[in-house]
Chains A and B, each alone.
Chain A
Amino acid sequence: MTRTLNMAALVAMLAMGCDRQPSAPVSTSAPATTGEAVAAPGGATASVAELLPVELTQGAQSGVSADGTYTVRWEVVGGAIPDAEPFAIAFAVTRSDGKAVSPDAKVFVDAEMPHHGHGMNFVPTVKRKGGDTFVGEGLLFHMPGRWVLAIDIGEDGVRERVQWNVDVE
């Protein structure tokens, strides 16, 4: 079974490598820090899994950035936000002009409790998958109440935010 999967993975990688569309313009955003997207698809060291898009369910939440450039759909990996335990979200970004998100785009995930005046105690890590999809790992909502989840996308020196209210019991 493992051997079959490995062969299949190799075939998949070859096909994707052949089919990648031309890169979008490179942004001039800030240098890499924890919490931003890493390893654009097709990177030499990226694993096969990192090249693959995340498939969201129909229950994914959707939102549009303030200037309308991006529509983001997201959902919790595993289905539910666990009680004061780490969790991950998967999300897909779509540009309103139909272009692909730049491989150099800076993508951040964060959350805060505005009524409490604090955020999470951790900086989530964002990993880019295929097809303008991402996984944000290391979120932890340690209190019940209203959280505001924010996903920031920065391209060409412009950063836009999509955010949602998330009520945690």
Chain B
Amino acid sequence: MNFRPVDSLPVLRVLALACCAVLASAHVAMASPQATQRPAALDPARLPGELSSLTPEEVNRIARMSPMAGFPADPTNRLADDERAAELGHLLFFDTRFSPRAVSCATCHDPKKHFTDGLPLARGVGETTRNAPTVVDAGRRRWVGWDGKFDSLWSQALAPIENPVEMGGDRTTFVRVVRDDPALRARYEAIFGAWPAELEARGASDPLATPARPASNDTQDSAATRWSELGPATRMAIDHATVQLLKSLGAYQRTLRSGPAPIDRFVAALRGDPAGDPEALDASARRGLAIFVARGGCFQCHRGANFTDEEFHSLGLVGANGRVPDDPARLAAVDFVQSNPFNAAGAFSDAPDSPKGQMVRSLKRAPELFGQFRTPPLRGVALTPPFMHDGRLATLADVVRFYDTLEGAAPIGHHGESVLVPLGLGEPGRADLEAFLRALTGEPPDERWARNPADPQSTGEPQQRGLRKDPAHGR
């Protein structure tokens, strides 16, 4: 600080300096990064033989694998952890009336398949270009989708509804179904207050009578035309109601949380925790763990307790041309997420100036993002075949074989130094690494949230509701 002497006000100057010191330290404390807490170290004496040759740094990588932290907050959705919103979202997730072809979120995110569909490419109204990722633990993700096209669960939820090859629906129908279903509407009004008057009219003046959604590259159709014909106030009212429902869907998806896995019990044992189990990983899985944190280099992207850095990389997987990656992936997604009116920094966010909003604004657009996909988390990975962004690898063994040989990958400059090189593990090493990956399967999500609320076998909460036929869709 540059203070020149103020002889006539010495007391004032001293007080000012003292205040500066107090406020400066307070400010720095507020700017501290989140999640800097380091996990407790492991006890080297408890390391089994398979891990005894690891360096302290490599052992520390194991320590970081467990325990899982709680879900990160989502300040962009004030209802993120609201149980009533989650219950409404639960009903919406399984509802088929938002699609003219009776496709629901659960079509591609089937609870019986760990909330995936088991297909290489997700199939709704038509076939998409991406594998359906699981929704379990999706609330932990920094970015949603293989290319991170969305910055929150709630903002992502609109895309499949309106995508012509996924649900093929539109936000107007989405809102109308809720308005016209007494049970859903009652839940909506209990959370958000009275139904918006602008969307109440019926008959010829019903603003929701005809499917409508904004135009996009994929949807230059009658719905887009209808959207442009609606007045700005009506469009805003529809968007507002849509966002409330999307945030309910986001709240629901945050309830789908996996429980502890064998790796957690194993790491706990290495800490001397009586609740741990040193045999939770068998000898093969322990050898696989050693590969993961050392020779295999897997830890470099699959980091920490979520086994992901939550960022993006290219493996050089060749596209349809058979030579080089041809999917822009993250490069296009950065443009999309920054221009999405429903992003974390936008008018519909409940915290546009939150760190997430700032993160979206500060995204870098760089050529190396071409072909990069989000590092998938590995907890539960054994439950979600097939693998890679386009489901090209059928089994976990295929994935391990890919990293072992890099067959099917084009040489790329990115990570050209040492990260992405053939591992040369051979069959025994591959089997060990696969065994370790299978030890990352945690306990399934709470059955209350995992089941279809319309399933005749289900009982208790959430309340059963009769799925009413939607006259507009002739069902």
**Which residues from chain A sit less than 8 Å from chain B, CB to CB?**
5, 8-9, 11-12, 14-16, 18-21, 34-35, 48-49, 52-55, 76-80, 82-88, 90, 100, 115-125, 129-131, 135, 137-138, 140, 142-145, 169
Question: In this complex, what residue of A is CB-closest to B368?
Answer: A118
Contact of A55 among B24, B34, B64 (CB under 8 A): B24
**Which residues from chain B sit less than 8 Å from chain A, CB to CB?**
1-4, 6, 9, 12-13, 15-28, 31-36, 38, 57, 60, 64, 299-301, 303-304, 309-312, 355, 358-359, 361-364, 366, 368-369, 413-419
* Contacting residues, chain A, for B300 (C-beta < 8 A): 143-145
Closest 7 A-B residue pairs measured CB to CB? Answer: A15-B16, A78-B32, A87-B33, A8-B19, A142-B311, A12-B19, A84-B309
* Contacting residues, chain B, for A129 (C-beta < 8 A): 24
Secondary structure at the A interface, as helix, strand, loop or mixed, is loop
Whether the Cβ atoms of A20 and B2 lie closer than 8 Å is yes
* Contacting residues, chain B, for A115 (C-beta < 8 A): 417-418
Known A-B contacts A16-B3, A169-B60; A122 and B363 likewise in contact (beta carbons under 8 Å): yes
Contact of B33 among A20, A35, A86, A143 (CB under 8 A): A86
29 contacts between A and B (CB under 8 A): A5-B23, A8-B23, A9-B19, A12-B15, A12-B19, A12-B20, A12-B23, A16-B1, A20-B2, A34-B361, A35-B362, A49-B23, A55-B24, A78-B32, A80-B38, A83-B303, A83-B304, A116-B417, A117-B415, A119-B364, A119-B366, A121-B364, A121-B366, A121-B369, A123-B362, A125-B362, A137-B31, A142-B311, A143-B419
Known A-B contacts A85-B35, A144-B300; A52 and B20 likewise in contact (beta carbons under 8 Å): yes
* Contacting residues, chain A, for B414 (C-beta < 8 A): 116-118
Whether the Cβ atoms of B363 and A121 lie closer than 8 Å is yes
Q: How far is the CA of A77 from the CA of B24 in the complex (A)?
A: 13
Question: In this complex, what residue of A is CB-closest to B369?
Answer: A121
Q: How far is the CA of A83 from the CA of B37 in the complex (A)?
A: 10
* Contacting residues, chain A, for B24 (C-beta < 8 A): 49, 52-55, 129
